[in-house]
Amino acid sequence: MSVFKDAGHLFRFAGLFVLAFIVFLVVRHFVVPPSFGQYGHYRAAAIAEIASRPVKFAGHDTCEACHSDVADKKSKGKHAHVNCEACHGAQAKHASADDPSTVKPVLPDTTVLCARCHTASAAKPKDFPQVVPADHSNGMPCDTCHQPHNPSMDAAAADVPAKPVGGAK
Amino acid sequence: MNINRRQMLILLPAAAIAWKSVLAGTPQDSPNYKMSDHWWGMLIDIPKCIGCGNCVRACSNENAVPKGYFRTWVERYQVEEGRENPRVDSPNGAIDGFPANTNPNLKSFFVPKLCNHCADSPCVQVCPVGATFVSPDGVVMVDDSYCLGCRYCVQACPYGCRYLHPEKNTVDKCTLCYHRITKGLTTACCENCPTGARKLVDFKDPKDPVHEFLRQNNVQVLKPQMATKAKVYYKDLDGSVR
């Protein structure tokens, strides 16, 4: 017993360490969120929080569920692969309204809208249809001649289903 | 699955309510989404990009990105004769597109950029508090309740994809529209790309056209020497792009 005879101060010190460790564990239990470390060194609940942010673009499948006539017309023309909201803007509010007609989308101004894609530029792919708007239409809105959903001139003139893309003229 | 009439009548309104909240964007869970079934990435078809800036506008709107900051942006490269390095411009992130080229005879093309959602990401490695992470489905995200705003990750990102949100004072970045892809929608930028130059892909889906695309085309990631395992693949990327 002579080994521990004068070791009282060491035991008190060790006791202090044990107490501090217990306090640390208790604090840690309350401070660290329960999902921390579930998948890695981060709070797993953050994933669900980010996933629950609001959606603003409803997606073309939602649009086409009601507007199948437009989808039909569009599928026959050169704009078949352009999704609805690329021109009409975010429409989740319109799509989810009890009566969609109360949240009317604003019709885009074709003078601005069409030029964004079709203004001539050397950086654009060579086979992409490009015009210098001032020379091409003299400032007239594009929808004077072209129907945006099927922009071929044949379709606009006769309002009949257009020829297949790339078909003989 | 066999459902009798009574079960169907119970299920229908429940499904209708769930779908409505998806559309309305009200916070809700995505009960049918399993993280372990996905590994997200993106394909960018450079020859198809027309530099219209639709992706930038859509992203800003969908994610309420503060003015002057960008989660995605488009760069225009102009390789001139007699110059060693290309001239690169991106006026206001190309949110209003680009002015016409000054010299039509030069080699010029557009490069859309966004977070590369690296599998081995430098931004995640430097975060001192575990606020940024790669989710089990391969999306790099920021937990803004944990972020201190120390900006280590902003400096670490080799692609310049992160910024400090001026109001929240936490780091903000592309989430690959995680709130959309977990509900079966595509990202806002892909949804609104008029030429299909950007495509959201799932590497874990054996039916995804990405596998065929990677086999058939000349693809590259940005800065492969950084060994970040970037998951945004560019088709026909010019050697001058950094």
Question: Per-10-residue mean pLDDT for chain A, 169 residues long?
Answer: 79 95 96 92 94 94 93 92 94 90 88 91 90 87 91 65 41
My answer on whether A75 and A141 are in the same domain is: yes
My answer on whether A67 and A132 are in the same domain is: yes
Nearest CB to A39: which of B51, B58, B136? B136
Tell me, what's the pLDDT at A164? 43
Does A53 reach chain B within 8 Å, measured CB to CB?
Answer: yes
Report the predicted TM-score, pTM, of the whole model to 2 decimal places: 0.84
Total domains in the fold of chain B:
1
> Could you tell me which chain A residue has the CA closest to the CA of B56?
A86
Cβ-in-10-Å burial (0-12, 13-18, 19+) of B123 comes to buried
Tell me the chain B residues in contact with residue A120 when contact means C-beta distances shorter than 8 Å.
100
Tokens matching residue B63: 């994610």
Give domain status of residue A163, yes or no.
no
- Phi first, then psi, for residue B108 (nearest 5°) are -150, 145
Tell me the chain B residues in contact with residue A36 when contact means C-beta distances shorter than 8 Å.
130
Give domain status of residue A93, yes or no.
yes
My answer on whether A89 and A112 are in the same domain is: yes
Give domain status of residue B9, yes or no.
no
Contact partners, residue B13, CB within 8 Å, separation at least 6: none
Summarised one tens digit per residue, pLDDT across range B180-199 is: 999 999 999 999 999 999 99
Tell me, what's the pLDDT at A168? 37
CATH number of the structural domain spanning residue B106: 3.30.70.20
Nearest CB to B194: which of A36, A52, A82? A82
Give domain status of residue A89, yes or no.
yes
My answer on whether A37 and A90 are in the same domain is: no
Whats the size of chain A, residue-wise?
Answer: 169
Summarised one tens digit per residue, pLDDT across range B136-158 is: 999 999 999 999 999 999 999 99
Give domain status of residue B231, yes or no.
yes
Does A55 reach chain B within 8 Å, measured CB to CB?
Answer: yes
My answer on whether A38 and A69 are in the same domain is: no
My answer on whether A128 and A154 are in the same domain is: yes
Nearest CB to A125: which of B24, B50, B180? B50
**Distance from the A7 Cα atom to the nearest Cα atom in chain B, whole angstroms:** 41
Give domain status of residue B168, yes or no.
yes
Q: Which of B110, B115, B116 is nearest to B75 (CA)?
A: B110
Tell me the chain B residues in contact with residue A151 when contact means C-beta distances shorter than 8 Å.
none
Give domain status of residue A67, yes or no.
yes
The whole domain housing A93 covers 60-158
- Cβ of A53 within 8 Å of Cβ of B179? The answer is yes
- Cβ of A52 within 8 Å of Cβ of B175? The answer is no
My answer on whether A127 and A91 are in the same domain is: yes
> From CA A104, how far away is CA A135, in angstroms rounded?
34
Does A108 reach chain B within 8 Å, measured CB to CB?
Answer: no
Tokens matching residue B170: 């936490």
Instruction: Identify residue B25 by its one-letter amino acid code.
Output: G
Strand (E) or helix (H) holding B90: none
Nearest CB to A43: which of B29, B146, B185? B146
Give domain status of residue A34, yes or no.
yes
Provide the ipTM.
Answer: 0.81
Cβ atoms B60, B72 nearer than 8 A:
no
The whole domain housing B45 covers 35-235
My answer on whether A82 and A126 are in the same domain is: yes
- Cβ of B179 within 8 Å of Cβ of A42? The answer is no
Residues paired with residue B132 on neighbouring β-strands, in sequence order: B142
Total domains in the fold of chain A:
2
